[in-house]
Structure 1
């Protein structure tokens, strides 16, 4: 990357035409000092892909810019920032080359100011070359703004696409194949079709008749094998096998919902029995192939929510030559060998994408546990016994049937969604989720997505903008990662005032059924009050490229409000939406009043509250409780230098040096906030006087020591990576990156945490890495040398993080020892798939001994 000034001079120097070089030099000398200074604030880099420069026979700079945009649009270069908002004008009656859907400010800028002078200096041809094949970034003091060229992340994609354009993208298996199939009326017999031809069509993409023509001699054997599979499956007594392997749990003795689930080991064993009874050994060709397939069932079941398993891991090591019923593997005919390999891949894919999910869905209800990523399995009869009493009471108390809404497809005036029930850990408690319906027809889906993009998402941005304007009486958190910095600021305030952290008192509570309890009319009044100071909103979409993380994030600006993106590149996405405050209010009212949930084929609207899961519900709840914090006297009249109030959604934590203040908060919380119909979960209220097992209090996945005001993230709350990989190199890179990320945030701030607490954080983070390795690595035993090198790298990351926090205090060597000790313990427990475990333990103990001797 070079400055615009350098680009201009290099253009002159690289020219083979002395006259042109002289011309550029003369014009440059005639420019004023402000122009030359300005060229130092713009940076130019060549695009990954370059086009032949078109000839544009005009001397009007604005027209040249338009012609360049038109050229890129015709070439379908829609990832260039100057093509955003444009498309080709293809109607015969349109005289213009372009149709502008949204105003592109970058194009406007390139027609004005210094760019007219740049055009005069470079001349027509070189200016067009700059416009077509380069990217330009303006430096604004702390961040860059891209005004021309390919979006940085797209540059990388383009480059990698050129290297692997012929390769297919990797495919994955995930838990969505069997999640939330909660009807309970799916017959196991339907897992396999009733005829060999139908079974073939379900398994393979090649038509049965085409296979019949090319494999006539073995057709009878194929038909016989598929027929045998169908007969085998029809004979299976599902209920008998289920009761023997996965017996029904006694719900009377279970204190929480989790104990009603069926263990994954039992589910896996059940599937293996069904599998072996259904498919003859010949189907997979050998015991080796069958064991390869069966060994991947449990890893599939152990996937977390949104987890994925590469399909290549399942087929890895599978012997194609053993499956003779599909044809013999030809060494002389590459096409036949390729076809056979493709059929084998389709066969294995059918097993994991169709057969296994169908069997699971026929006898188990699968879902995640609320507020976790853990997926659990319930027998349908157990799930029905758990869920039905709750659903009956919920429908009776919160919903009302909408009898006139008989056809969901036709009832376009209502926002329809399906009812999803997610179990909480506590017995008989569930979370009701509204899952929006998009429609079945292509045009309906397109309309829904257009409505979300142009109406709902901008409305969410407006609500978030309104929430950001709230007074700072309580610290509203965007995520749990905001907790350490908030605690740190409060700690520093106390130290400045008292010289140390004085004795603290606290109360932690949350709101019971926060979505169901919100009065809709009160929520609308809160919004009206927030909108009173605004007349209209202009929501403009932008992107932010982080050059360090190599990530591209999208965000929106409201009414030209600047968004900080220090050190990165801001990219204007051109799309602008305009709403008046009355339109925003109409959208919100429609979302609250015209949402209907479908349960057992019937439509229901709400008697009270709002549905959790509708597009705007989270933003409405956030704004509602922000208003509560501002208007309830117990929060608004407090001494802010002596107390801290944290809120994330409906979870609250109040810390203060005043015992009497915390007691007054407790009285208010126990009585409830009547104006907002907000009442706390009485059994979840925790105060300084509550009996606790340890010195830490867990708040939103963070452990807080409220005596020293220090914060930890325990192993239990760190997300375990389950990125299945048979490549140690890839896995080591991913795990070390995650480890570094955990040790580079506010938890390693010496102003917040002591050296002992930081060492605990290193210990917990390392346990998380070791657990992730055990879950993720599925290849042959990892080579010893590479494994020890990986642990050394983790130790180095821990050392650097601790040394940065507490330089020259010896904590870095303790951090290295903590890393080594974690892996020694895991290796001793034989949980790690590593070559020569005993030698690995000895090597780590020797490294620890070396540290001790220094």
Structure 2
């Protein structure tokens, strides 16, 4: 049985809690306590909610009315041109505004509308004390206000022709709108600095668990949904997850080698286990997105393909450190050669393992 209980809080008490949270946050720094004077506590349980309420008000009463006004302006001009009223619905610009906490993404079929919103964001919103961070914006078109200035959050692929907009840990293809993971945050430091090695207990068991943990952060349904990405990009996203996992595996094994050395067969077995876990995790994450949504995600990725991509990624990463993994590489190469897919590799898999399509990851220090 389940009994739902509601707790009622008086407005006065609720506001006292909010005041306590926002106005009386105390920080400990260098052995001294400080009362925060500006902003709200970063990482607080209410901070993201309060931020969303604040920006939600800004969107509802300022940004969306502005966008609707630009749509009306464009439609009026079309009416005065050659289009009949029945054409307006199909020809008027379409747009989408997304926000994650305080990070906005705007997509529109009208360059003029996008330019207008960008100009509006540049001016800021004085009444809300909100202003655009000039160091963290990016556009994929020329704007008069920033002509000739570097676009900080637009990443160009190795071919120079493909550009990606960086947003909230994603790389969004400006031409196809396909989505890949943004690994640029790993470029500044050695990858080992992001790892915690467990020296106590049973190191092999800990490593087996760590391999699965390495796969989880970049295993979002967005990367594998065929509604969003082509078959080639779905496999490329899978391959890149394994590339980063293999880099972390090397860093972990290297640090662990100071106290013990794991058997080659054991390492190859837990690697293969992690490849199977990856496919299971992708399916689980995709299923979790099917509830409460009108758009159903589509997964067109076979278990054998995931395994093959995983073996290939580990081999490519570890062979750059061949002196440390000579025996393990021999076992992994043998398993890859005997894999069912190795006899007939599809064009999509060939695209995924093409080093040019993962040039960013090869710049990570491991």
Give the TM-score taking structure 1 as reference length: 0.29
Shift of the alpha carbon at 1:655? 1.0
Match of 1:792 in 2: 272
Pick aligned residue for 1:587 from 4, 7, 17? 17
Match of 2:327 in 1: 836
Match of 2:167 in 1: 699
Shift of the alpha carbon at 1:650? 1.7
Shift of the alpha carbon at 1:699? 0.8
C-alpha distance in structure 1 between counterparts of 2:278 and 2:22, whole Å: 49
C-alpha distance in structure 2 between counterparts of 1:812 and 1:839, whole Å: 23
Relative to structure 1, is the Cα distance of residues 715 and 590 closer, same or farther in structure 2, using a 3 angstrom cutoff? Answer: closer
Pick aligned residue for 1:846 from 316, 322, 337? 337
Match of 1:722 in 2: 196
Shift of the alpha carbon at 1:678? 0.9
Would the aligned equivalents of 2:24 and 2:35 in 1 still touch at CA under 8 Å? no
1:106-161 CA deviation, whole Å, 9 max, x = no partner?
A: xxxxxxxxxxxxxxxxxxxxxxxxxxxxxxxx5xxxxxx5x7xxxxxxxxxxxxxx
- Mapping for residues 817-832 of structure 1, pairs under 5 Å: 817-830=308-321
Would the aligned equivalents of 2:308 and 2:336 in 1 still touch at CA under 8 Å? no
1:655 counterpart SS class: strand
2:227 counterpart SS class: coil
Shift of the alpha carbon at 1:847? 3.4
Match of 2:252 in 1: 776
C-alpha distance in structure 2 between counterparts of 1:830 and 1:814, whole Å: 25
| RMSD of Structure 2 on Structure 1 (CA) | 3.8
Would the aligned equivalents of 1:711 and 1:747 in 2 still touch at CA under 8 Å? yes
Shift of the alpha carbon at 1:671? 0.8
Shift of the alpha carbon at 1:663? 1.1
Q: Is the counterpart of residue 763 in structure 1 residue 239 in structure 2? A: yes
1:711-745 CA deviation, whole Å, 9 max, x = no partner?
A: 22244568965353653344224423653775473
* Higher RCO structure (Cα 8 Å, ≥6 apart): 2
Match of 2:82 in 1: none
Q: Which one has a bigger Cα radius of gyration? A: 1
C-alpha distance in structure 2 between counterparts of 1:641 and 1:797, whole Å: 44
Shift of the alpha carbon at 1:748? 1.4
Shift of the alpha carbon at 1:785? 2.3
C-alpha distance in structure 2 between counterparts of 1:618 and 1:751, whole Å: 30
Match of 1:651 in 2: 103
- Mapping for residues 269-348 of structure 1, pairs under 5 Å: none
Pick aligned residue for 1:622 from 52, 59, 63? 52
C-alpha distance in structure 2 between counterparts of 1:650 and 1:612, whole Å: 13
Relative to structure 1, is the Cα distance of residues 590 and 730 closer, same or farther in structure 2, using a 3 angstrom cutoff? Answer: closer
C-alpha distance in structure 1 between counterparts of 2:321 and 2:232, whole Å: 29
Give the gaps of 5 or more residues in structure 1: 1-137, 139-144, 148-559, 561-573
Shift of the alpha carbon at 1:628? 0.8
Match of 1:739 in 2: 215
1:686 counterpart SS class: coil
Pick aligned residue for 1:753 from 229, 245, 268? 229
Q: Is the counterpart of residue 806 in structure 1 residue 300 in structure 2? A: yes
Give the gaps of 5 or more residues in structure 2: 72-91, 143-150, 158-162, 284-297, 345-366
Relative to structure 1, is the Cα distance of residues 844 and 827 closer, same or farther in structure 2, using a 3 angstrom cutoff? Answer: farther
Match of 1:662 in 2: 114
Match of 1:681 in 2: 133
Relative to structure 1, is the Cα distance of residues 816 and 715 closer, same or farther in structure 2, using a 3 angstrom cutoff? Answer: farther
Relative to structure 1, is the Cα distance of residues 579 and 708 closer, same or farther in structure 2, using a 3 angstrom cutoff? Answer: same
- Mapping for residues 362-761 of structure 1, pairs under 5 Å: 577-595=7-25, 606=37, 609-610=39-40, 612=42, 616-634=46-64, 637-638=67-68, 642-689=94-141, 692=154, 693-694=156-157, 695-716=163-184, 722-724=196-198, 726-736=202-212, 738-739=214-215, 742-743=218-219, 745-761=221-237
Relative to structure 1, is the Cα distance of residues 680 and 823 closer, same or farther in structure 2, using a 3 angstrom cutoff? Answer: same
Relative to structure 1, is the Cα distance of residues 739 and 604 closer, same or farther in structure 2, using a 3 angstrom cutoff? Answer: closer
Shift of the alpha carbon at 1:609? 4.7
Larger strand fraction of residues:
1
- Mapping for residues 29-178 of structure 1, pairs under 5 Å: 138=1, 145=2
2:196 counterpart SS class: coil
Aligned residues: 278
1:684-717 CA deviation, whole Å, 9 max, x = no partner?
A: 3211226542322211112212322222224456
Would the aligned equivalents of 1:704 and 1:711 in 2 still touch at CA under 8 Å? yes
Relative to structure 1, is the Cα distance of residues 655 and 785 closer, same or farther in structure 2, using a 3 angstrom cutoff? Answer: same
Would the aligned equivalents of 1:715 and 1:768 in 2 still touch at CA under 8 Å? no
Would the aligned equivalents of 2:180 and 2:223 in 1 still touch at CA under 8 Å? yes
Would the aligned equivalents of 1:672 and 1:680 in 2 still touch at CA under 8 Å? yes
Relative to structure 1, is the Cα distance of residues 658 and 851 closer, same or farther in structure 2, using a 3 angstrom cutoff? Answer: same
Give the TM-score taking structure 2 as reference length: 0.62
Relative to structure 1, is the Cα distance of residues 605 and 732 closer, same or farther in structure 2, using a 3 angstrom cutoff? Answer: closer
Relative to structure 1, is the Cα distance of residues 683 and 838 closer, same or farther in structure 2, using a 3 angstrom cutoff? Answer: closer
1:159-209 CA deviation, whole Å, 9 max, x = no partner?
A: xxxxxxxxxxxxxxxxxxxxxxxxxxxxxxxxxxxxxxxxxxxxxxxxxxx
C-alpha distance in structure 2 between counterparts of 1:602 and 1:790, whole Å: 47
2:208 counterpart SS class: helix
Would the aligned equivalents of 2:171 and 2:179 in 1 still touch at CA under 8 Å? yes
Relative to structure 1, is the Cα distance of residues 836 and 579 closer, same or farther in structure 2, using a 3 angstrom cutoff? Answer: same
C-alpha distance in structure 1 between counterparts of 2:41 and 2:275, whole Å: 47
Shift of the alpha carbon at 1:841? 5.2
Relative to structure 1, is the Cα distance of residues 831 and 772 closer, same or farther in structure 2, using a 3 angstrom cutoff? Answer: farther
C-alpha distance in structure 1 between counterparts of 2:249 and 2:323, whole Å: 8
